[in-house]
Chain A
Amino acid sequence: MMLALNEIRRGRGRFASIIAALSLIVFLVLTLAALADGLFFGATGAVRSTNATAYAFSPDAKGSLIRSSMTPEQVREVSSDPGVATASGVGVLLTAGTAPSGEYDVAVFGVQPDGAGVPTTLTDGRLPQPGENGTAAIDQELAYEGVAIGDSITVGTQSAEVVGVVRDSSYQLQPTVWTSLDTWRAMRNEVRPEFTGVTDDVNAVAIITDSGVTAEQVQSEVGDLTVLSAEATGLAIPGVEQQSSTLNSIIYTALAVAALVVALFFALVVLEKRELFAALKALGTSTRKLGAGVVLQAIIASAIGVVIGALASRGLGAIVPDEVPTLFRTETLITISIFTLVAGVVGAAFSLRRIARIDPATAIGGTL
């Protein structure tokens, strides 16, 4: 162990190269992960941060809130199905809203305040109350941009007074405005004149299932409607799954590259130290000890790489423009740190067989 540590301490130049390579990879991975998280959380907050555990959509909607359209009878039917504790309509409108501080692209969500699909992430003020029209809770992002409690947000000629702030609730990267179903419908009918006269439709049904009941079980009760869990609803938002899987595959590839880099580095180190390892074995050092030293070095190099890469990626995060949706999550950092350390250990492990094969006899007798 002492040998392993001293080698890093005294051979800084050589270890600097592996640490630099690992730092770069970690930097790349964390930055991509921040982008992936930013996209995912920004796109799906409105269906993840509510009390709903599932959503039901009209048959042709392919799980899209915007494409779906449902009647009050369908909502009632869903609520009477076994396994459904609460079901209520949800309306969605992507539009532009005007507040005193400016005009914003927003997603207006109409929900039933004492029903399902209501945000659970209130950070300030309150949510609209049951039966209350003309009020709204806004996403924190709008608050950051200058919209305050007491302001009114106007869509067309319809306005709602801001009474509260919720967080992590954006939808398709747009900040949300949470209001009553009636207020939502009034706004929708102004923006989309083809709905004039329609007074009781919703887009989809938010469901709180009885505990232990899954979306699949509800699906089997509702006939031709589509029922998705809240999580699956997030993934069904156009682009979300594709983006996540593309970015995730780049991330996994980069981690595999990290393992490969470490494997190559230690393969070279071991090759170079064959004679020394042979001598140490002759002197009674076990393969296990030598291997543990190499693995320890890999862990240290990876750990330093993680720290440098994480700092660099946070540094970049601080200077990218706000339009780029990045989200640095501690969970992601921890997961990727662990993956990088594992990649380092796996990479180093390739050298273990090589170390095991070094024959102590080669240390002795220059004639061989």
Chain B
Amino acid sequence: MDVDALPVASLRDVTKTYGQGDACVHALKKVTLDLYPGEVIVVLGPSGSGKTTLLNVTGGIEPVTSGEVEVCGQSLANKKPEELATLRRKHVAFIFQFFNLIQTLTAAENVSLIAELTQKSAGLHERVEEALSGVGLLERAAHFPAQMSGGQQQRVAIARALVTGPDLLLCDEPTGALDLDTGRHVLALLQAAAREQGRCVVIVTHNSGIATMADRVVRFHEGSIAQVVQQEAGEARDVTW
């Protein structure tokens, strides 16, 4: 992690409120957080503490109620949905708990789908192969999601996320549907993306065992940051739960 670098994303006094009046829920309360290139941040907290909401507002998927979010130097305030989509395509990628691969597309096609939208087709094929071999699935390029294990599908999803070269990788329970061994493999890939490619990786989880691989651990409690711990990161392949 490069402490002198500009943050990839920064949140200033971000509040997110759902609903109105009596039914209103304060999902985030005055959250301030900077995310730097090359770091792995693990966000922990009980259910309903605002972890997913944090990812949503950081990725511009939901507007904030108040406060300021900046991604790669651009304020997300007053951006139209299509502009936000473009910004995400260029700078942000998501990893979902349930992979969300397209069943009718092969692994390689899933990986090239989003990249196709932004990037020149020249060399796309090579970049897709590179991304797949990066997650160790080159020989599965022509397989469909249904022919792969959960861990393999999540690795395809990581290849899909990384192929566009995002600055920020937002992962919501990426190992939530995986067993320990496959989970470690997936986490190691995410850690490598931060260490070797300088991407900022945010991992949201219930699972405090994962915290050992983080450069920074952020604990949420009822919509606020309860604790931030900067630490010497362990190896992802050593995490346990």
Contact = CB atoms under 8 A, between A and B. Distances in A.
Q: Do A and B bind each other?
A: yes
Interface string A339-368: 000000000000000000001110111111
22 contacts: A2-B105, A2-B113, A279-B94, A279-B100, A280-B114, A281-B85, A282-B88, A283-B89, A283-B93, A283-B161, A284-B114, A284-B117, A284-B118, A284-B164, A285-B85, A286-B82, A286-B85, A286-B86, A361-B61, A363-B96, A364-B94, A364-B172
B66 interface: no
Taking residues whose C-beta sits less than 8 angstroms from the other chain, chain B's interface range is 35 or more
B81 interface: yes
A271 interface: no
B82 A288 contact: yes
B117 A367 contact: no
Interface string A62-82: 000000000000000000000
B103 to A, nearest CB: 8
A275 B100 contact: yes
A364 B88 contact: no
Given A2-B113, A286-B85, A361-B56, 16 more contacts: A2-B109, A3-B113, A276-B100, A279-B94, A280-B114, A283-B89, A283-B114, A283-B161, A284-B85, A284-B92, A363-B96, A364-B61, A364-B96, A365-B51, A365-B172, A367-B47
Nearest to B104: A10
B94 A282 contact: yes
B223 to A, nearest CB: 14
Nearest to B171: A364
A364 B59 CA distance: 11
B116 interface: yes
Given A364-B55, A366-B176, A276 B117 contact: no
Contacts of B102: 3, 276
B98 to A, nearest CB: 7
Interface in B40-96: 47-48, 51-53, 55-56, 59, 61-62, 81-82, 85-90, 92-94, 96
Closest 9 CB pairs of A and B: A284-B89, A365-B52, A279-B100, A284-B88, A10-B104, A286-B85, A360-B61, A361-B61, A282-B94
B173 interface: yes
B173 to A, nearest CB: 7
Interface string A270-310: 00000110011111111111000000000000000000000
A11 interface: yes
A7 interface: yes
B67 to A, nearest CB: 17
A276 B160 CA distance: 14
Given A284-B92, A365-B172, A6 B104 contact: yes
Contacts, number: 90
A366 B100 CA distance: 12
Contacts of A285: 85, 89, 114, 117
Contacts of B113: 2-3, 280
A10 to B, nearest CB: 4
B97 interface: yes
Contacts of B47: 367
Interface residues of A, number: 28
B96 A7 contact: no
B94 A363 contact: yes
A300 to B, nearest CB: 15
A279 B105 CA distance: 15
A365 B164 CA distance: 23
A281 B59 CA distance: 11
Given A7-B104, A283-B93, A366 B85 contact: no
A359 B117 CA distance: 20
Contacts of B82: 286-288
A282 B104 contact: no
Nearest to B160: A283
Nearest to A289: B117
A364 B62 CA distance: 11
B141 to A, nearest CB: 15
A206 B139 CA distance: 80
Interface in B92-134: 92-94, 96-98, 100, 102, 104-105, 109, 112-114, 116-118
Contacts of A11: 104
A6 B109 contact: yes
Contacts of A282: 59, 61, 88, 94, 96
